[in-house]
Amino acid sequence: MGLGTVAITGAAGTIGSVLRAALRDESERLILLDRIPIRDTTANEEARVVDLRDPVAVEEALSGADALLHLGGLPDEAPLSDLLEANVLGTHHVLEAARRLGIRRVVLAGSNRVTGFHPVSGMTGVEDPVRPDGLYGVSKVAVEALGRLYADKFGLSVVCLRIGSFEEAPTERRHLATWLSHRDAVGFVRAALTAPSATRFATVYAVSANSRRFWELPDPSTLGYTPLDDAETYASRIPDGELPLDQDGPQAGPYADPEFTLRHIRH
């Protein structure tokens, strides 16, 4: 099915740039939103500069969209005040604009880091308790909660993708479990944008079909996409790639270390 007019926040970012290129031929129009100007637009793309902290500007920028892919925000560990402003408040503004404008589908960029303290030895699903590995993970828990609130309270149709390690190819041992290939990222997003209109709220792990993965793939009845790539193909190129991860360690790996967060706590 055609995607209609799709708005992408964070369109100038690493993930946004890949998805924009993949979706432009399937969309009637792309509305590209970012804090910085995007100048290399094609015939069916329109770039709009917007600060997600400004609710009035966000609503104006999203005008005309049928669906929304929300990628904007801080992408990694940072002081909590910054994460709350960029990720949580920004997402609230996006969802509120979607409600007011009647946007039919919102796809939120969540993160695997909401469950980073679950052990490597288990297979974690979306029904398992959240165990964020840092302040960034906490902000993404709040993003999911806002999506659920707007689905339950206001009837918005929301799909939250817990994105894995988005890389062109795996570069470290943890990626052999957590990799999300570019091809599979496009597949998950396309499926999320086109999921049945009756879908009120869904959360899924967006991860490639890695033999060593520790996250459950989505049930096809929830999201109709089966990933195609397996990081194992690259294992021989990665230092110590033949060795398993510590089965008692956290899925987040080094992101779970205290020092990773302590340097962002202001005294």
What digits encode the pLDDT tens for the residues 156-173? 999 999 999 999 999 999
Token pair listed for 181: 């290939």
- Quickly state the pLDDT bin for 120 (edges 50, 70, 90): very high
51: region left, alpha or beta (phi > 0 left; psi from -120 to 50 alpha)? beta
What is the reported pTM? 0.96
Query: CA 77, 78, 83 angle in degrees (round to 5)?
Result: 100
* Structural fold of domain 5-262: Rossmann fold (3.40.50)
One of 136, 205, 225, 255 is an active-site residue; which one?
Answer: 136
Cα–Cα distance between 93 and 222 in angstroms, integer?
26
Owner of token pair 């879908």: 199
Chain centroid to Cα 211, Å, comes to 22
Map out the domains of the chain as residue ranges. 5-262
Token pair listed for 49: 């500069």
Cα–Cα distance between 82 and 76 in angstroms, integer?
11
Cα–Cα distance between 167 and 140 in angstroms, integer?
20
pLDDT tens digits for range 170-195? 999 999 999 999 999 999 999 999 99
* Residue 225 bears catalytic tag: no
pLDDT tens digits for range 11-58? 999 999 999 999 999 999 999 999 999 999 999 999 999 999 999 999
DSSP per-residue string spanning 196-249: -TT--EEEEEE----TT--BPPPPTTTS-------GGGGGGGSTTTTSPP-TTS
pLDDT tens digits for range 215-256? 999 999 999 999 999 999 999 999 999 999 999 999 999 999
Q: Find the helix or strand (DSSP H, E) in which 145 lies.
A: helix 135-154
Instruction: Identify the DSSP state of 163.
Output: E
Residue 2's pLDDT is 80
In the sheet that holds 105-111, the strands lie side by side as 45-49, 29-34, 5-9, 67-70, 105-111, 158-163, 201-206
